[in-house]
Amino acid sequence: MVFPQRRTVNLRLRLVAVGFGVLSLWIGARLFYLQIIRHDYYVSLAARAQEVARPVRPHRGAIYLQDTRSGELFPAAVNKEWDTVYAVPQEIPAGKEEATVRQLAAALAGLTPERAQKLQEKFADKNLRYYVVARKVPAEAVERLKTAALAGLAFAKEEHRFYPEGELAAPVLGFVGETENGEPWGQYGLEGYWDKTLAGRVGFKAGARGALGNLIPQAGGESVPAEDGADLILTIDRNLQFKACARLAEGLKEYQAKGAALVLLDVPTGAIRAMCSLPAFNPNEYSRVDTIDVFNNRTVFTPFEPGSVFKAITMAAGLDLGLIKSETTFVDPCQRVINGHRIRNADGKCYGRQTMTQVLEQSINTGAVWVQEQIGNERFGDYVRRFGFGKKSGITLDTESAGDVSSLNKPGHIFGANASFGQGFTATPLQLALAFGALANEGRLLQPQIISEARYPGGRREKTTPDELERVVSPAAAQATLGMLTAVVENHYRRARIPHYYVAGKTGTAQIAERGRYSATRTNHTFIGLAPADRAQLVLLVKYEEPARRWAEQTALPVFRDVMEFALNYYGIPGTR
């Protein structure tokens, strides 16, 4: 006889046994699915959790100035190891965050109260693996921190960009900043234009992740070595750069100008020997500038209405077409009214009968207009563009401007007439220097060169060679224009004379346009000259923005003379005067 209570117990046991059986079958099936069916997937998942690939940073290529006489190189942008201070919040004792921050602030004097508050919040976050407290920490501050033996601090060496020459050539070089992810990023100048070439290629090192997050190399693990960046050798001569920029800076202060630019160009090659833009900045402290405008290289970034220096280009076009000769005469009408616009000479002067050479010597606006009328608007616009205006020169620097000659496309003679004496369109200082260089180079316009050589890892070298862009005028027209410009210096701008040398040149005092009119007080001053004029080797442009002087011969001209004389003596170019 079976009692009801016993039957209930047996039923429960059977149900439990069945449950265990079903569970065992489910576990077995699940294990079979995970270990057999999904085996490859979970092996891959485990590998991804354990195997890591750490980036290997390349060394950024260096940039060098040179002594162009001897070939000696001088580092202008290199890499330097600096100390970085890290904090590991998990190692900072609870409740000691504020005291740690106070000690850090004492050792790192640059910490502000806001910075200290942020640090305290970071140090209290125990889920944070590490936090960068400061980069480029001075060695003495690191020593103070190490002596203090603060818990939770770590130190490491990191490579950062360093500019040994400070402000010298800074607008040409640019600087290396950081992206939002902390990656180095070349900006402005050479650092910006050549960023990929200088940066090289990041590699990686494969291995397993250790218990502390460290990388454990594995035999057979795939790794790709980093490829260092190329070194750049500049055409800029360090001594000429120093002399030219220092003299330009003296004038900037003396003439109370808002800005200045200078370009020294080698005629036969188109190589830049000096390039100055003021005010400048220290690329080692680029974040401390008052305005980011100083990052822009005025010689290539800042177009302006060139004024009377452009009369030389107008004359060259007329000579090339055979429409004028240097002794061709015209009678100055004192003023012209074209399309309702009145054109006068400076100070309202009237000159009577003048030769084309005298038009340049006296800088007669109506004379330049007369030549442009002989050429015609369409042909004149073609010459302006052939000389390189309205398009980028192709120099390998970041943020180059093309200038604006679009006014020459407009109907109406007034636009060509104004352009004949340098108004109504814009050009960069570099474009003007190159155009005058073409006159000295038998009418051949060259592409400017600022890189002499690129040196790649492994020994490969790429040297730059002169590159002719276009023949803009005939050798005869170019030579005739140079002769006229030589007469300008001989007969009018005698302060530009240099003992033992003939010098060719022209000033430009250009009114600045504002609210549809030309200012009566605000001007840009330019002097462009070539020497020796009878076999020109160097072209030099000097420009001042809004100086507190009336005429360019009072500002740009004396600076031109000093720098050009230094350069001629520096290269030992014999005089023929």
Q: Encode pLDDT of 503-512 as tens digits.
A: 999 999 999 9
Q: pLDDT tens-digit profile of 524-574?
A: 999 999 999 999 999 999 999 999 999 999 999 999 999 999 999 999 999
Assigned domain for 26 exists: no
The answer to whether residues 245 and 120 belong to one domain is no
pLDDT: which is higher, 105 or 312: 312
Both 139 and 261 in a single domain? Answer: no
Same domain, residue pair 277 and 426: yes
**DSSP helix, strand, coil percent of the chain (3-state; round to 5):** 40, 25, 30
| Count of domains forming the chain | 2
Q: Does residue 119 share a domain with residue 247?
A: no
Does 316 reside within a domain? yes
In the structure, what pLDDT confidence band is assigned to residue 52 with cuts at 50, 70 and 90? very low
Structural domain for 115, as ranges: 89-151
My answer on whether 142 and 240 are in the same domain is no
Q: What is the pLDDT of residues 117-170, one digit of tens each?
A: 777 777 777 777 777 888 788 888 888 888 877 777 788 888 889 999 999 999
Domain assignment of residue 4, yes or no: no
Q: Is 345 helix (H, G, I), strand (E, B) or coil?
A: coil
Same structural domain, 447 and 559: yes
- Domain presence at residue 15: no
At 214, is the pLDDT very low, low, confident or very high (cuts 50, 70, 90)?
A: very low
SS (H, E, C) 135-148: EEECHHHHHHHHHH
Give a yes or no: residue 16 inside a domain: no
The answer to the question of residue 273 being in a domain is yes
Within-domain flag for 69: no
Query: How far is the C-alpha of 462 from the C-alpha of 268, rounded, in Å?
Result: 20
Which tens digit of pLDDT belongs to each residue from 312-359?
Answer: 999 999 999 999 999 999 999 999 999 989 999 998 999 999 999 999
Residues 117 and 240 placed together within one structural domain of the fold: no
Q: How confident is the model at residue 34 (pLDDT cuts 50, 70, 90)?
A: low
How much is the pTM? 0.84
Question: Which residues on neighbouring strands pair with residue 120, listed in sequence order?
Answer: none
* Those residues with Cβ within 8 angstroms of residue 256's Cβ, 6 or more apart along the chain or in another chain: 547, 548
**141 and 239 part of one domain:** no
Residue 429 lies in a domain: yes
Mean pLDDT of the chain, nearest integer: 88
Reference 190, options 457, 395, 427; nearest CA is 395
